[in-house]
């Protein structure tokens, strides 16, 4: 596959199909959890039919739980309505080589209603597109970057499942944050990931060891926000499948083990207009010199974070990550180049941007970016002032508001919010509240290993 790389036009795909280099096209979209779902097409049939006409998928796929079980109680799709189809429309701007797979290309789809051919409002990519369009109406494009962290284990996914995910062997055996020697030991995997991402049209900046045993971060180049969300989900799929091929495993859980560091997905955002960073300016905001657009965007993002927390922290496990002294934020505050802050302002002038450190590696990027944009744009519209900049250890600042502590708390805030209903639509809020309630209920009825260890003998 070395002779072809990156993004493809239909003409280039046809050429590679004729030469026998590609014979399969993976046609995908993401569900609520950010997982790729879709079909593998014969490449010739894709060129003849699906590239222009798209394909179909069962609408239950936007109502299933993590185990792929259809869940009752959704208006969008249910047994009473017969679980019909929706239309998957390939976004040909995303057509690319999937270099980690044999003779395969990949394209990401938008999800449309089968009859009206309008975007399905509850589909994650549709939701982000709606916020991008709102920003465009105000004259802005959005630039973004995700910084994803993950743990590597020597156990295969199948062996990890057999062990009930207990007693797994980390790829590293001491903390390796920026440590090159320990990082070299995992380079067979991380190097392959960097190369395959680059060859698949996801430009890579670097990778490095992180604070946990076998924990790493791999960063890709920033881009417009939709492209970044696409890169994010391709990145996760690529790394999981490379690990599977190597007989090892990676996890993007927000908190794999109570004793280890959590895995984050810090997201960076800036607004641009006329080829210039709209955050740059001459106003003094604490130690930051910026525009009022920056000021109000930051104010809105901070103000609405609790109401949209479910999009940054979508699982039960997400909330185990928010612990003092753990590199994960616990308080809703902003600061300049301060890693104890939930919102860390970095760069200056044209590079000025906001880094939100709240999302975990388990977030769906389409939803996380939707939440960030909706919040920030509302801040601009209503000139929401941010709180005063905080300097020092935010972990010890007990007077600052805490991030929501559980998925149940976050779902309550999301469902009760008039803001979320206004910017997302009442049907979207109802739909996703149902998703998070189902996840909470599944946990509430589960018997965990913690309970067995604590109570088996001593109760």
pTM: 0.95
Secondary structure of the chain in HEC code, one letter for each residue: CCCCCCECCHHHHHHHHHCCCCCEEEEEEECCCCCEEEEEEEHHHHHHHHHHHCEEEEHHHHCECCCCCECCCCCCCCCCCCCCEEEEEECHHHCEECCCCCCEEEEEEEEECCCCCCECCCCHHHHHHHHHHHHHHCCCEEEEEEEEEEEEECCCHHHHHHCCCCCCCECCCCCCCCCHHHHHHCHHHHHHHHHHHHHCCCCEEEEEECCCCCEEEEEECCEEHHHHHHHHHHHHHHHHHHHHHHCCEEECCCCCCCCCCCCEEEEEEEEEECCEECCCCCEEECCEEECHHHHHHHHHHHHHCHHHHHHHCCCCHHHHHCCCCCCCCCECCEEECCCCCCEEEECCHHHCEEEECCCECCCCHHHHHHHHHHHHHHHHHHCCCCCCCCCCCHHHCCCCCECCCCHHHHHHHHHHCHHHHHHHCHHHHHHHHHHHHHHHHHHHCCCCHHHHHHHCCCC
Looking at residues 369-391, what average pLDDT do you find? 96
Give me the pLDDT at residue 341, please.
86
The residue assigned the tokens 């003409």 is 11
Looking at residues 138-162, what average pLDDT do you find? 96
CA distance 375 to 430: 19
Residue 211: pLDDT over 90? no
Residue 349: pLDDT over 90? yes
Residue 352: pLDDT over 80? yes
Residue 283: pLDDT over 90? yes
Other CB atoms within a 10 A radius of the CB of residue 223 amount to 16
Mention the CATH class of domain 10-120. Answer: alpha beta
Residue 450: pLDDT over 50? yes
pLDDT tens for 4-15 read 679 999 999 999
Q: With beta carbons less than 8 A apart as the criterion, state whether 189 and 243 touch.
A: yes
Structural tokens at position 228 = 């970044």
Give me the pLDDT at residue 4, please.
60
Structural tokens at position 1 = 């596959």
Other CB atoms within a 10 A radius of the CB of residue 62 amount to 23
List Cβ neighbours of 233 (8 Å cut-off, separation of 6 or more).
30, 34, 36, 108, 365, 366
CA distance 344 to 334: 6
Could you give the C-alpha distances from 59 to 36, 41, 128, 458, in angstroms and in order? Answer: 15, 19, 19, 48
CA distance 248 to 405: 33
CA distance 59 to 79: 11
Give me the pLDDT at residue 209, please.
84
Q: What is the mean pLDDT of the chain?
A: 94
Where is average pLDDT lowest: 22-31, 32-41, 66-75?
Answer: 66-75
Residue 104: pLDDT over 50? yes
Q: For a pLDDT cut of 90, what percent of the chain falls above it?
A: 85
Could you give the C-alpha distances from 457 to 114, 301, 446, 453, 454, in angstroms and in order? Answer: 56, 48, 19, 8, 8
Q: With beta carbons less than 8 A apart as the criterion, state whether 312 and 368 touch.
A: yes
Structural tokens at position 181 = 């020697």
CA distance 7 to 455: 55
Give me the pLDDT at residue 184, please.
86
Residues in the chain: 459
Looking at residues 181-198, what average pLDDT do you find? 92
Give me the pLDDT at residue 339, please.
86
Where is average pLDDT lowest: 186-195, 197-206, 386-395?
Answer: 386-395
CA distance 220 to 357: 17
CA distance 218 to 207: 4
pLDDT tens for 297-311 read 999 999 999 999 999
User: Where, residue-wise, is CATH 3.10.20.70 in the chain?
Assistant: 10-120
Q: With beta carbons less than 8 A apart as the criterion, state whether 86 and 59 touch.
A: yes
Structural tokens at position 226 = 């939709």
CATH of domain 135-450: 3.30.590.10
Looking at residues 115-127, what average pLDDT do you find? 94
What torsion, rounded to 10 degrees, do the Cα atoms 226, 231, 236, 240 define? 140
User: Where, residue-wise, is CATH 3.30.590.10 in the chain?
Assistant: 135-450
């Amino acid at each position: 596959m070395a002779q072809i790389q990156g993004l493809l036009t239909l003409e280039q795909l046809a050429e590679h199909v004729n030469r026998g280099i590609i014979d399969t096209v993976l046609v995908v979209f993401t569900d609520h959890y950010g997982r790729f779902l879709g079909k593998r097409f014969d490449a010739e049939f894709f060129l003849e039919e699906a590239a222009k006409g798209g394909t179909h998928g069962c609408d239950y796929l936007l109502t299933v739980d993590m185990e792929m079980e259809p869940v009752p109680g959704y208006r969008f799709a249910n047994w009473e309505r017969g679980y019909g189809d929706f239309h998957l429309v390939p976004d040909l701007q995303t057509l690319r080589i999937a270099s980690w797979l044999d003779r395969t290309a990949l394209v990401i789809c938008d999800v449309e209603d089968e009859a009206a051919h309008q975007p399905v409002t509850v589909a994650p990519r549709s939701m982000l597109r709606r916020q991008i369009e709102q920003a465009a109406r105000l004259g802005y494009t959005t630039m973004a970057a995700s910084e994803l962290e993950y743990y590597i284990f020597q156990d295969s996914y199948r062996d990890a499942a057999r062990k009930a995910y207990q007693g797994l062997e980390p790829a590293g055996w001491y903390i390796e944050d920026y440590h090159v020697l320990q990082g070299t030991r995992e380079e067979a995997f991380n190097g392959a990931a960097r190369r395959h991402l680059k060859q698949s049209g996801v430009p890579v900046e670097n990778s490095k060891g992180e604070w946990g045993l076998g924990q790493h971060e791999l960063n890709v180049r920033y881009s417009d926000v939709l492209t970044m969300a696409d890169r994010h989900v391709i990145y996760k799929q690529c790394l999981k499948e490379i690990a599977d091929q190597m007989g090892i495993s990676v996890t993007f859980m927000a908190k794999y083990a109570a004793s280890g560091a959590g895995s984050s997905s810090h997201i960076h955002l800036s607004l641009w207009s006329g080829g210039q960073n709209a955050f740059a300016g001459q106003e003094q905001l604490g130690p930051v010199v910026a525009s009022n657009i920056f000021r109000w965007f930051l104010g809105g993002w901070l103000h609405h974070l609790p109401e949209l927390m479910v999009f940054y922290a979508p699982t039960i496990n997400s909330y185990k990550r928010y612990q003092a002294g753990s590199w994960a934020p616990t308080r809703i505050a902003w600061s300049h180049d301060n890693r104890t802050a939930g919102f860390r302002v970095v760069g200056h002038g044209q590079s000025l941007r906001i880094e939100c450190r709240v999302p975990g590696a388990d977030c769906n990027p389409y939803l996380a970016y939707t939440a960030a944009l909706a919040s920030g744009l509302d801040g601009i519209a209503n000139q929401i002032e941010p709180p005063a900049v905080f300097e020092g250890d935010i972990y010890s600042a007990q007077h600052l508001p805490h991030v929501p502590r559980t998925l149940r708390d976050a779902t309550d805030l999301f469902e009760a919010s008039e803001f979320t209903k206004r910017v997302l639509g009442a049907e979207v809020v109802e739909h996703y509240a149902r998703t998070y309630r189902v996840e909470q209920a599944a946990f509430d009825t589960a018997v965990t290993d913690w309970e067995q260890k604590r109570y088996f003998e001593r109760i």
